[in-house]
């Protein structure tokens, strides 16, 4: 097993925007890692064996070649990828387990395209590309923080990168948190809401500005906030199980 030491998401602009499946470029395809992102050995708060298994496109996900009776496309950032917890403890996998227990005679497939450092731009771009290829029954999004943008990589503009507000190359001259929340986040939320409604795909999210998405918890006020992942920075298994249960309840109560 190898280590991943460069936590920078990069995607070739052509690959990122064409109609083919894209590689995460954050994580290597068909590989198992012991440590990723902030979950590195020097940050470990306790001993725990965690393996990060990435599919043929470099996502901690079921294979994109798999499908079932219930297919769910999941997106977000490191909290959805499951940094610091086992794959079995992450909320997408717990959601799969809970649905499988509820429908024992049906096959459940979860396609998780979350990646660490993802921005709201990444969420909309990625989902808008893959829904036509994967045709999920549901899309579940746990939106990343607003203080991120997807931009051409400053070292090589042929690539995209997720830029953080605290980064020195973040375009602070024209961007602040008000712009990020009132425009950058809003445009992605509203666009995704409209797109999934048009495609007749059921959509569940933790934030919404539209009327067609089931929002389960605006700004996550009631979800337990813990940092009990192995890296001491990300949420632990209790948080993940709570989020999975909320998504499950919304799936069961979906009406439109």
pLDDT in tens, 66-102: 999 999 999 999 999 999 999 999 999 999 999 999 9
Element (H, E) at 26: none
- Distances from the Cα of 25 to the Cα of 29, 57, 164, 187, 200, angstroms: 8, 8, 18, 25, 30
Quick one: pLDDT band at residue 128, thresholds 50, 70, 90?
A: very high
Q: Is the pLDDT of residue 11 over 80?
A: no
Which two tokens mark 204?
């569940």
More confident residue, 253 or 40: 40
Closest CA to 122 of 86, 80, 169: 80
DSSP 3-state assignment of 228? Answer: coil
Q: What is the pLDDT of residue 145?
A: 86
Q: Is the pLDDT of residue 197 over 50?
A: yes
Query: What's the whole-number mean pLDDT along residues 146-156?
Result: 81
Quick one: pLDDT band at residue 142, thresholds 50, 70, 90?
A: very high
DSSP-derived letter for residue 36 is B
Instruction: Indicate the Cα dihedral angle 128, 4, 80, 54, nearest 10°.
Output: 70
Quick one: pLDDT band at residue 10, thresholds 50, 70, 90?
A: low
Q: Which domains does the chain have, with CATH numbers?
A: 10-252 (3.40.50.1110)
Angle at 99 between CA 249 and CA 231, to 5 degrees: 85
Number of Cβ within 10 Å of residue 32's Cβ equals 11
Quick one: pLDDT band at residue 21, thresholds 50, 70, 90?
A: confident
Mean pLDDT, all residues of the chain: 85
Q: What is the pLDDT of residue 71?
A: 97
Q: What is the pLDDT of residue 184?
A: 82
Q: For residue 184, what are the β-bridge partners? A: none
Query: What's the whole-number mean pLDDT along residues 31-52?
Result: 94
């Amino acid at each position: 097993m190898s280590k991943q030491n460069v936590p920078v998401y990069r995607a070739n602009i052509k690959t990122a925007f064409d109609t083919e499946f894209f590689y995460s470029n954050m994580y290597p395809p068909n590989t198992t890692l012991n440590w990723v992102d902030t979950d590195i050995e020097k940050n470990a708060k306790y001993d725990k064996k965690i393996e990060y298994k990435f599919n043929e496109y470099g996502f901690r996900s079921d294979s994109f070649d798999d499908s079932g009776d219930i297919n769910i496309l999941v997106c977000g950032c490191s909290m959805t990828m499951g940094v610091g917890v086992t794959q079995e403890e992450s909320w997408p996998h717990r959601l799969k387990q809970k649905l499988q227990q509820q429908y024992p005679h049906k096959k459940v497939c979860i396609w998780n395209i979350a990646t660490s450092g993802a921005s709201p731009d990444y969420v909309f771009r990625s989902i808008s590309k893959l829904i036509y290829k994967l045709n999920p029954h549901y899309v579940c999004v746990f939106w990343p923080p607003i203080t991120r943008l997807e931009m051409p990589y400053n070292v090589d503009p042929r690539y995209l990168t997720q830029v953080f507000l605290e980064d020195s190359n973040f375009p602070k001259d024209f961007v602040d948190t008000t712009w990020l929340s009132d425009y950058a986040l809003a445009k992605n939320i509203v666009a995704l809401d409209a797109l999934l409604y048009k495609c007749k795909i059921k959509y569940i999210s933790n934030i919404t500005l539209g009327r067609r998405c089931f929002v389960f918890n605006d700004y996550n006020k009631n979800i337990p906030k813990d940092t009990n992942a192995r890296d001491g920075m990300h949420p632990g298994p209790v948080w993940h199980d709570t989020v999975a249960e909320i998504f499950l309840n919304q799936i069961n109560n979906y009406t439109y």
